[in-house]
Structure 1
């Protein structure tokens, strides 16, 4: 089976607070209205808001509630992400739950939005998972997609669909829309970039096809986006090229160039080391002028 229906959910929520009951209601309504949906994806930090002070060890009570909902509706469920307390460390962590209500994997965001997402540690493992008889899916979170190595690695691991919850309430959302299209095109995969609305995001979620084509772009308000993907399209375009033209994954595989940058410790270079510390910009002191 190559057809599979994924519903992205863009909803209003509290920036600091428990949104799990609102998410429960949204899933119940969604599945009543669109029973064909097989997977539901929410935006980053939707369940418990954007404060690391709400971090919980995993498994948690919130995660258990989502496991019950996935089993109840027999859906794959990615309820955005939550701050995870792991010893003294805090991670921005996404859970993947199958239709039996089981957590099949968790992913820790590799690139916290530093310096703004201070105090959050970086994950170290890429995560893909298989939906039996359908295909392979990869996950990343928000700022991860600004680093092309993350999506390229997931594609090299066989991911045909990238599920990407984000929480963007800033003026760079239009740039992220371009990045989502680019990631889909250069890796020849579907890309679901689902944002929050209101206090927890400025919306404009986007679903992109493997040719970089926009399948749907949401507005700024609440929206449910059920989209049927065709994994045979990914496989065909990876075989014959984007619109019968470029075959970037094969070209990357067959490259002769060795990217020496990645042999430097930490991925640095003499030039990058001149850029200064990673910190918030400071106000200009007008008395100096």
Structure 2
């Protein structure tokens, strides 16, 4: 199916030089579909990239590696060569249980165009990830996603924020049939929306002017704030990022586990207890009714 979509895309838009698919679009979000990388899927995608002479990011797959499973995206050049791979650093715990975090950031050069970075889905919720790619020189962030949950609207705001505070283009490409709800978004280096898709399948042909990133970083967002230069010139370091820094509040939040019905019941009983002990001040929250 992905090969058919590529054939259609290149027939409609033969001027396209790079194609990006959504996260886990090839085989879906089930761990038993995990493949070895390199493998047949990547080889088929290499053939397609070479066939059309395009850069290709064919979403991601669950990758079997040393008895572990990673969420891995490949970057293929127009010669059909894999130039780099990236494994998602922040699996969607506690829901993406069984997936091992990657540990290496990923940027790559497109000759005579610019520097690109790869990020996957939940990574974007941790601003340090996009900031690190930017500090490494990335001017465009390619962000395959597979979100079918009710927080998609929040992700759209995060995408705009990440594009603006890092003064970069950001392509947040969300899936559909593989479990996503669509609404892909392309943001410019000022955080403005260049295009936002709906909840049906779309091909989104966008022509980028990378010079907009360079001008933004030189002169400021809308010739106003210059967050990257200000970050560079910050007079100190952030203590929370120091090795072995004590983080008592974060430690107090408890384990990273899925909420359960028992949690809701326990909270309800706590509310009832508070009401019995002090009926004048205790209140019930509607969510427990």
Relative to the length of structure 1, the TM-score reads: 0.90
Tell me if structure 1 keeps the 8 A contact 2:146–2:178: no
Partners in 1 of 2:13 and 2:130 — Cα distance? Answer: 30
| 1:153 paired residue among 132, 141, 159 | 132
1:135 and 2:123 matched: no
Paired residue for 2:199? 220
- What is the SS of the residue equivalent to 1:223? coil
With over 3 angstroms needed to count, the CA separation of the structure-2 counterparts of 1:268 and 1:130, relative to structure 1, is: farther
* Structure 1 residue 199: Cα displacement: 4.8
* Structure 1 residue 264: Cα displacement: 3.9
Unaligned runs of 5+ in 2: 273-289
* Structure 1 residue 200: Cα displacement: 1.8
Q: Structure 2 matches for 1:263-282, cutoff 5 A?
A: 263-265=242-244, 269-282=247-260
Q: Structure 2 matches for 1:16-55, cutoff 5 A?
A: 22-55=1-34
Paired residue for 2:224? 245
Q: Structure 2 matches for 1:1-289, cutoff 5 A?
A: 22-265=1-244, 269-283=247-261, 284-285=264-265, 288=269
Q: Please list the CA deviations of residues 103-129 of structure 1 after superposition, one character each: whole Å capped at 9, or x if unmatched.
A: 000000000000000010000000000
* Greater relative contact order (CA < 8 Å, ≥ 6 in sequence): 1
Partners in 1 of 2:201 and 2:123 — Cα distance? Answer: 24
Tell me if structure 1 keeps the 8 A contact 2:87–2:102: yes
Unaligned runs of 5+ in 1: 1-21
Structure with the higher fraction of residues in strand conformation: 1
Partners in 2 of 1:55 and 1:99 — Cα distance? Answer: 26
Larger radius of gyration: 2
Relative to the length of structure 2, the TM-score reads: 0.90
Q: Give the 4+ runs in structure 1 shifted more than 6 A.
A: none
Tell me if structure 2 keeps the 8 A contact 1:198–1:221: no
Q: Please list the CA deviations of residues 43-92 of structure 1 after superposition, one character each: whole Å capped at 9, or x if unmatched.
A: 00001111111111110100100000000000000000000000111000
Q: Cα RMSD between the aligned structures?
A: 1.2
Size of the aligned set, in residue pairs, is 267
